[in-house]
Amino acid sequence: MSVVVIGAGLSGLAAACHLVGRGHDVTLVERHDAPGGRGLRLQRDGFTFDTGPTVMTMPDLVGEALAAAGTSLHDALPMRLLDPAYRARFDDGSQIMVRHGVEAMRQEIADTCGSVDAAAFVDFVDWLRRLYRVEMPHFIDANFDSPLDLARSPRAAARLVRLGGFRRLGPVIREWFRDERLHRLFSFQALYAGLSPESALALYAVITYMDSIEGVWWPEGGMDAVPAALATAAAKAGADLRFGETVTRLVLDRRGAVAGVELESGERLRADAVVCTLDLPTAYEHLLPQLTAPRVVRTGTYSPSAVVWHVGATGTPEPGTSHHNIHFGSDWDGAFRALIDDQRLMPDPSRLVTVPTLSDPTLAPAGSSVLYVLEPVPNLDGRVDWARERGPMRERLHAFLGANGYPTDVVAEELVTPLEWERLGMHRGTPFALAHTFRQTGPFRPGNLDRRVPGLVFAGSGTVPGVGVPMVLVSGKLAADRVDAYLPGRGGAAGAAGRARGGRR
């Protein structure tokens, strides 16, 4: 059966790979000239910038999508493990390296924080693994039709309760460790969920497991290699990838079910089902203007945003700099109150600096560096006038780089604020969609179906299971499962074969 996928971001590419592997006739339409979605590659003055995610975790999820389309992760997307995964620097001048492997990280904690916290780390890892093993198959890699579906896995839900998954993350981490630096190191991931550690559920420690325990990887050629590999695999398996074309509306039949899409050129593509990966509010505004978006899409709590400064500079960082570097501010709780409660800039911000040229010097001219500098900021509901704040923000980031041993002779740059995110189609200027509050998590998050439009399936960070590279890859597979269920007897046999080839989790 014919399926159109709108958008060549990671969720759309994953959906395309799973669908074509299950025997569907897949056409993927992307308005940009290359795959990558919001993570398109930018080249300027000899520097190459990956403008999307910089932290690659859980590569097996990419491998699953590639395998569904008949391609091997090893052959299509060679990667190497980053060790350390992060260098964490604190306001007192100290630092902790996030090392790969339990024993290596235990020793790092022993050397920097003491033997008591080092011993606690071993049990902490065991807790994280048990949390992951409960969450992944039952609550992440699963479609829900309503909150009542939680009852289909009562034992898993009970285990999650016993593990403390519904407590708050910050207090749970403090119970594990004495050193305040470890409290920050193992709870900052709450920001990925759009929350402070004090308000995020402890079940989001699964993100800590994904990067701090399973490891952070670097794809050969940079992060752009991930969507490129998925696109190549989908095309080899028979998908038709159409770049530089924009879908302007859904074509519906007399029943109101999907019958295809119409492109900006006026061409119509027939389809039995459509997978849409646009940010949900954007999808309803532009493709479903006749429908009122679900309440949570219209009035839900959206995550903070981020300013990202892409910098190409002459020179290299000081010795000891890692591929990923987290610089923690001093006032941890105050920073979150400012960002999330008051919706203003953090007075003492924590920042991420990624230096991909430490892993691949070819991304910059000889003797130069590419820097990715990220600072969490309020979304456009906040109290920041970005027309005025853009210049001062750049100057603060420039001063921060100089004070922390990074090169500052800027040759090429691109500053992305919430205004730019909004222009890219991201509601309220945040690339992180709806925050993962309890009422916007799991079966309470906007579903990947709108039953008013049969045959339409959503994928991406705004729907289940949520935000982050692993989650959007899963969302693409969940969308493919929905298409199979909608087309019973058509994609069913092919779907079973595709799942067998892809090694369904």
**Residues in contact with 395: Cβ distance below 8 Å, sequence separation at least 6, in sequence order:** none
**Structure confidence by residue, pLDDT tens digits, 222-271:** 999 999 999 999 999 999 999 999 999 999 999 999 999 999 999 999 99
**Structure confidence by residue, pLDDT tens digits, 405-448:** 999 999 999 999 999 999 999 999 999 999 999 999 989 999 99
Burial category of 261 from C-beta neighbours within 10 Å (exposed 0-12, middle 13-18, buried 19 and up) = buried
Assess whether pLDDT exceeds 60 at residue 497.
no
Assess whether pLDDT exceeds 70 at residue 491.
no
- What mean pLDDT, rounded, does the chain reach? 95
pLDDT, position 39: 85
What is the pLDDT confidence band of residue 480, given thresholds at 50, 70 and 90? Answer: very high
pLDDT, position 393: 98
Residues in the chain: 505
Query: What six digits make up the tokens of 392?
Result: 């001062």
Distance of CA 238 to the CA centre of its chain: 27
Quote the pTM value: 0.95
**Structure confidence by residue, pLDDT tens digits, 182-236:** 999 999 999 999 999 999 999 999 999 999 999 999 999 999 999 999 999 999 9
The superfamily in CATH containing domain 2-38+60-74+223-300+436-502 is FAD/NAD(P)-binding domain (3.50.50.60)
Q: Which residue has the tokens 């922390």?
A: 404
Spans of all domains in the chain: 2-38+60-74+223-300+436-502, 101-212, 303-428
* 3-state SS, residue 338: helix
Give the type of residue at 76: A
Query: What six digits make up the tokens of 318?
Result: 């000081």
Q: How far apart are CA 346 and CA 395, in angstroms?
A: 16
pLDDT, position 496: 41
- Closest by Cα among 322, 305, 241 to 38: 305
pLDDT, position 489: 55
Query: What is the CB neighbour count within 10 angstroms for residue 147?
Result: 10
pLDDT, position 488: 78
Q: How far apart are CA 296 and CA 311, in angstroms?
A: 37
**Structure confidence by residue, pLDDT tens digits, 142-194:** 999 888 887 788 999 999 999 999 999 999 999 999 999 999 999 999 999 99
* 3-state SS, residue 164: coil
Distance of CA 161 to the CA centre of its chain: 26
| pLDDT, average across residues 397-405 | 98
Q: How far apart are CA 398 and CA 391, in angstroms?
A: 11
